[in-house]
């Protein structure tokens, strides 16, 4: 039998049983592509990461949902490098930051490891290039989107922005402003209808956000829905948070370049995603997200040895 050590973590939090769960295999050499997909399906978390050696970066990360491999995802990257730093697979320092590079399906991207008192504190990742794509302007599509979210059309938009837009830093999502936290709480997704809309625009999910928040330190409260991928709701979505951050700056909605996105509270899994945008209205040069993680479980997977 081939045996592989794995860990589960909660990401974008420092408390167990909150944030977004993740499974990581820190030494995944010898696991086939087919086995990786089967393992991710078996564990049935939103993502599972397999860490491999790389010729172009410190490590190669392969990120799988239960149904497919992803080019990029925020919480798997943040969680994996928190784990690898804890296991001392990365360079170490007592206090300060270390910049390394990771190989993803999307390409090679930098990651910054922030240490305090000899322990990993946070991981910051630069996301892919920001893309502002289609806006959803037609009344029929806006009405269909509201209906798919279980809302009225006048629940969409808020005091700062009415723009519903497909945005990306590697994975496309639809940024959907809503009027208030009360509207966020009223969302009742119709899975097939919502999937029809975001798939029509080439996105993987819808990211609703309000400027009314639970924490005074947060800029927005967000929720992410991706029913076509079997994710009724995600408690913390780094890729969508990064894309939303770019949206807010690119459209001149906010003047801040660093802020906190809160997510997951309405699922009982509070998450806090720290975002930073290098750029200004009409020109986003780079988007970064940062977060904490906590290791929850350790286990061993046994696979049959090929004859």
Q: How many CB atoms lie within 10 A of CB 277?
A: 23
Biggest distance spanned by C-alpha atoms of the chain: 64
What is the DSSP annotation of the chain?
A: -EEEEEEEEEES-SSTT-SEEEEEES--TT--HHHHHHHHHHH-SS-EEEEE--SSSSEEEEEE-SS-EES--HHHHHHHHHHHHHTT-S---SSEEEEEEEE-SS-EEEEEEEEETTEEEEEEEE-S--EEEEE---HHHHHHHHHHTT--GGGB--SS----EEEESSSEEEEEEBS-HHHHHH----HHHHHHHHHHTT-S-EEEEES--SSTT-SEEEEEEEGGGTEEEES--HHHHHHHHHHHHHTTS---SEEEEEESGGGT--EEEEEEEEEETTEEEEEEEEE-EEEEEEEEEEEPPP-
Active-site amino acid positions: 47
Task: Collect all residues with Cβ–Cβ distance below 8 Å to 85 and sequence separation of at least 6.
Answer: 92, 113, 115, 120, 123
Q: How many CB atoms lie within 10 A of CB 101?
A: 14
Q: 73: closest CA among 64, 83, 86?
A: 64
């Amino acid at each position: 039998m081939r045996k592989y050590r794995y860990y589960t973590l909660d990401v974008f939090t420092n408390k167990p049983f909150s944030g977004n769960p993740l499974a990581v295999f820190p030494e995944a050499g010898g696991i086939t592509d087919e086995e990786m997909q089967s393992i991710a399906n078996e564990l049935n978390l939103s993502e599972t990461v397999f860490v491999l050696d790389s010729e172009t970066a410190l490590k190669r990360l392969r990120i799988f949902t239960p149904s497919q491999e992803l080019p990029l995802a925020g919480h798997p990257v943040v969680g994996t490098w928190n784990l690898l730093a804890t296991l001392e697979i990365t360079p170490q320092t007592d206090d300060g930051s270390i910049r390394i590079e990771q190989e993803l399906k999307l390409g090679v991207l930098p990651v910054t490891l922030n240490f305090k008192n000899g322990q990993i504190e946070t991981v910051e990742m630069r996301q892919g290039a920001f893309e502002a794509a289609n806006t959803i302007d037609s009344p029929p599509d806006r009405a269909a989107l509201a209906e798919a979210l279980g809302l009225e059309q006048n629940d969409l938009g808020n005091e700062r922005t009415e723009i519903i837009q497909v945005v990306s830093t590697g994975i496309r999502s639809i940024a959907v402003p809503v009027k208030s936290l009360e509207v966020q709480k009223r969302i009742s997704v119709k899975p097939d209808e919502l999937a029809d809309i975001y798939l029509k625009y080439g996105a993987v999910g819808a990211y609703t956000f309000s400027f009314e928040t639970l924490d005074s330190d947060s800029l927005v409260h967000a929720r992410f829905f991706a029913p076509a991928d079997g994710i009724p709701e995600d408690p913390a979505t780094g890729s969508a948070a990064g894309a939303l951050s770019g949206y807010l700056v690119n459209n001149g909605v906010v003047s801040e370049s660093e802020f906190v996105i809160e997510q997951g509270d309405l699922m009982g899994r509070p998450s806090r995603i720290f975002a930073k945008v290098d750029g200004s209205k009409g020109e986003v040069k780079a988007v970064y997200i940062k977060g904490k993680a906590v290791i929850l479980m350790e286990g061993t997977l046994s696979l049959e040895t090929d004859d």
